[in-house]
Amino acid sequence: MVDMADAVITEHAGTREGPIARFYQYGREGVQVLDTKKNLQRLYIFDPSLDMVTERDPSRREKILRRFMFDQNGMLEETFSFGQHPRTFRYENGGQQIAVREGGQYGAVGKIFTSDRNGVAETAWGRHGEIERVYIFEAGDDTIMERKGGWFGTVDRTFAFEGINASVFREPEAFLQFLMFTERREGEVDSTDKDRVADVTHGDGSKVTHSRFAFTGKRHTSSDTHSDTKEDFRIDIIPEGDVSLEETPKDEPSRKKSSEISFAERQTGRKF
């Protein structure tokens, strides 16, 4: 349990009336990302003397997971996980835009963040891609709303600020920090995702958890259908398949295998 004495940012799923997903405790030493029970999930430590922020392992604080280096040109993200490439965030047009490059400063531009008076738009797939999401700074200076697909898209998340103004994160460097703290990670399940999983209770009180993608309709079995309505999908069987040609009666026409019957013969309904 972490004492929530500092400024707090509360993340809601959807609008501000939606369920709480996370808390971000914003203090002078860094930022603590907490789940809905206020258990520590992530830890970020500020190092102003080096213009650096480090992400630490919550269970082993001396272990650095990522490092974010800031300078007048933007930010460099270095990760210490195998298979993860560095990313650069470079200011453009006086800080009105931030270009994200994968693999270092010479990598391809993957995203563009563009600021205007309403907030920040995130463009995916390079400089000429489509708006993937926007971060809207709401009136009152206490809310940032994240929408998918554009300025009028679906509200994905809402961040409510207490003890700190939302406008603090309008500055390019502060906005990059906000992106770091609030990013979603593959494999990380928050409380709102857990709530989407249905718990089915049996008569004995035990619970079986089903995925939200599981089929919930009536399942049909062979006993649900009368035998006289079943279609016959059996393969053609030659009754005397084990009888030699010499033993076949002369007055009985020779039988053909199913594979030897042409399509035209099947259409005419010819009997064999």
Q: Specify if 233 maps to a domain.
A: no
**173 in a domain, yes or no?**
yes
Whether 80 is covered by a domain: the verdict is yes
pLDDT band at 133 (very low <50, low <70, confident <90, very high): very high
Residue 192 near residue 52 (C-beta atoms within 8 A): no
Range of the domain at 21: 7-85+138-184
pLDDT tens for 1-41 read 344 457 999 999 999 999 999 999 988 899 999 999 999 99
Q: How many whole angstroms separate alpha carbon 59 and alpha carbon 7?
A: 23
Cα separations in angstroms, 43 against 192, 218, 252: 21, 46, 86
Q: How many domains does the chain have?
A: 1
Of residues 86 and 151, more confidence is placed in 151
Say how far apart CA 128 and CA 114 lie, in whole Å: 12
Tens digit of each residue's pLDDT (9 = 90 or more) over 259-268: 566 656 655 5
- Average pLDDT, integer, range 49-61: 94
In-domain check, residue 256: no
Cα(8)–Cα(32) distance, integer angstroms: 10
Residue 128 domain-assigned (yes or no): no
Q: Give CA–CA dist 167/201, Å, rounded.
A: 47
Specify if 41 maps to a domain. yes
pLDDT digits (tens, 9 = 90+) for 175-231: 999 999 999 876 665 544 444 444 433 444 444 444 333 334 444 444 454 444 444
Q: Is residue 155 part of a domain?
A: yes
Domain assignment of residue 200, yes or no: no
Q: What percent of the chain has pLDDT over 70?
A: 65
